[in-house]
Structures are given as C-alpha cells and as structure tokens.
Amino acid sequence: MIPFIDLDKQYISIKKEIDNAIQNVISQSAYIQGPFVKTFEENFSQKLGIKHCIGVASGTDALTITLKALNIGIGDEVITAANTFIATSEAITINGAKVIFVDNDEYFGINTKLIEEKINSKTKAIIPVHLYGQSVDIIKIQEICRKYNLLLIEDCAQSHFATYNNQYTGTFGDAAIYSFYPGKNLGAYGDGGAIITNQDSLAHKIRMYCNHGSPEKHVHLIEGTNSRLDGIQAAILSIKMKYIDVWNQKRFEAAAKYIKNLSKCNNIILPQIRPLSSHVFHLFVIRCQNREKLQKYLLENNIQTGIHYAKALPFLDCYQHYNHKTSEFPMAFKNQDELLSLPIYPEISDEQIEKVCDTIMKFYSL
C-alpha cells in the first residue's frame, strides 16, 4: 500500500531525538507553557525573522483568536478564498463577521483580480490562504490592503517556510497563523498552532487572551480563553524544526519527479509554480479527467489519494443561507470534480512515485 501520508516513516527517522524530547518534558513536568514552549516560540519566530510567536492549541484557534484580538466582529466583512479548509471561514463567522468568498486563480490561490470588487465600507480584513504549500500573489494583496486600509492576516497552515520573492509567507501581513496538525509540513503529535506578528501590542493582547486574559497570576485584565501549545508538542516541534528545510526540499524533489514522470500524460494538468514563488508542496494536486474512476482505480492498485476539497466553501451545507450560485465561483466549482491529491511526503521513495505515475498512465490507456 502507498499511503497518502506516512507519519510513521518520519517518526522512525528521528525516533531517538523525539523520544528523548518527550521524556525531558515529562521529567520536568513542563506540560503547559514553560521552557519548551518558550524555546519553540523563539526558534520559530527567529527563523521567520518576526518579533513575536505565540503558541496556541490549533490553527483554527490561531485564526479565531487573531481576528478577535484585531477587533473583527459583528457588522464587519472579511474577504477570503472560496477554496480553502473550512477553518479559515469559521474563524470569521464565529467572531460575528461576514465571510466574503473570492474565487481562485490557476495556481489555486485567491484571484487578486477579483478582490477589489468585493471591498466596501464594512470590509475590515483579507485572509489569503497559501494553499497546498504555495504563496498567493501576496505583494498584490499587500498593495490592496494598503490602498483600502485593510488588515492582512495570512493563513500559513499549509505553507511553512514557503517564500514569495525570497521572503517567507507569513511575514507580509499584520499577523499570520500556522497549524501544526500532524499532517502539516511541520506537524506535532497532536493539535497545535501559532500566531506570529511584529506588533508588540497585538502580541501582548493575543498572549493574554490565550491564557484567560491573564498577564500574570491572579490578574485578569480581560476575559479570554484557554488556548495554549503544550510542552510535549513544543518539544517535538523544536526537534522537527531542525529538519524542516530538508523535508520541504524533499517534498519539492518528489513533486519534480511527479511532474517529470507525468508530463507526457495528456489527461491531467500538473500543478504550476507561480512566478517568484517557492512551493513547499504540502499537497501535490493534479487536475484530472474522470476523477472518481481514477481515484478508485488507484485505490484498487493500493494507492491512497485525497481530495482537497470535495466542496468549495460557498457550496457547503452550512453556507447555504448565503445563497451563492456556482456561477459566482467557476474555478472553485470546477475544482470540486477535477482535483486529486497524490501521495506526497519527504520520505516517499522514487519507487513509490514511479508506481503512482505508472498506474495513472495505465488508467488512461485502458
């Protein structure tokens, strides 16, 4: 079986270091906050060249809390992509704001040409998503945000250390959020997330909010919540930070092999690299004919694949009250039936990639 993702292979490759790291946290009973979280936050922000990193309980919390700390709520509108994971839009609506969807471009990022027509006096922020591991046209979005005085929050849950114009995604906006869900490029062994920002007062507010509004013991300046990265996850992430560049490079090399092997296949369209963008291939997503049958055939041949995403956000049951029409988001609508994610991870072997490619070619020659 070629799994869609193989977390065990990665664990085995660094087992000793990981086991030691976990043992250290337990020996010191540093489960919540404490030195391991602090060290990871410093590692992460230093690599990105950003002043503040606040570890939180998940990527979803990171989004929700960032919007809350930026006072986005009832009466406000926030623009985001029609094709992303639901966490992005949930964070907007859970704060009481209205989500405004924008269709994607040919690189699966938010189509920057369609953003300005959605801006009005209620618009407060844009949340671009660097989907599948590739930056959106972030400089253009930065320009739009400056022109209309909007907040820019980057969703980097799928783009750890991807760059645009040699600058890390996550460093272009007012704040950025990360997920350390186990399957992400930098994944913990449970839920985890982070918020990064250069703004001192925003960082202070977020840190306080994540810990019951408490800047110090027995003081609660505001009501907050409990959303903290725990020590074991932070210790694991600090170990994994040593390897993330190599792992991202290996994902890129795996993608290059897929692209080389599949370039002859006329029934699929391969992912394209956006100019100025470095792709960290969180997912390797092809556009293909006869998607359902291809996926079934691959599974019959012991190859697992994924679909990201089976329904674009505007068409989900929970957003039916917006009455969106499929014609409003033609690209996202088309994606639903055509996209297929092939197995990709740093540890995938050449033989595995070749088998996936051969099986796809065989399917179309039947």
Ligand X SMILES: *Cc1c(COP(=O)(O)O)cnc(C)c1O
CA distance linking residue 305 with residue 320, whole number of Å: 28
- Could you tell me if 158 and 279 are in contact, meaning their C-beta atoms sit under 8 angstroms apart? no
- Could you tell me if 156 and 182 are in contact, meaning their C-beta atoms sit under 8 angstroms apart? no
Provide the mask over 167-206, with x wherever binding to ligand X is found by CB under 6 A and - wherever it is not: ------------x-x---------x-x-------------
Nearest distance, CB of residue 264 and ligand X, angstroms:
31
What is the signed CA dihedral for 46, 229, 241, 4, rounded to 10 degrees?
-140
Those residues with Cβ within 8 angstroms of residue 3's Cβ, 6 or more apart along the chain or in another chain: 304, 343
Give the up-direction half-sphere exposure of residue 259: CA atoms within 13 A in the CB hemisphere.
13
Question: Which residue, 157 or 208, has its beta carbon nearer to ligand X?
Answer: 157
* 146 φψ region: left (φ > 0), alpha (ψ -120 to 50), beta (else): alpha
Nearest distance, CB of residue 115 and ligand X, angstroms:
18
Beta bridge partners of 78: 99, 125
- Which one among 137, 154, 155, 230 touches ligand X, defined by CB under 6 A? 155
Question: Which residue, 10 or 88, has its beta carbon nearer to ligand X?
Answer: 88
Question: Which residue, 103 or 191, has its beta carbon nearer to ligand X?
Answer: 191
Provide the mask over 112-151, with x wherever binding to ligand X is found by CB under 6 A and - wherever it is not: -----------------x----------------------
Nearest distance, CB of residue 178 and ligand X, angstroms:
8
209 binds ligand X (CB under 6 A): no
CA distance linking residue 180 with residue 222, whole number of Å: 27
Residues 51-90 that bind ligand X (CB under 6 A): 58-60, 84-85, 87-88
Chain residues binding ligand X by CB under 6 A are 58-60, 84-85, 87-88, 129, 155, 157-158, 179, 181, 191, 193
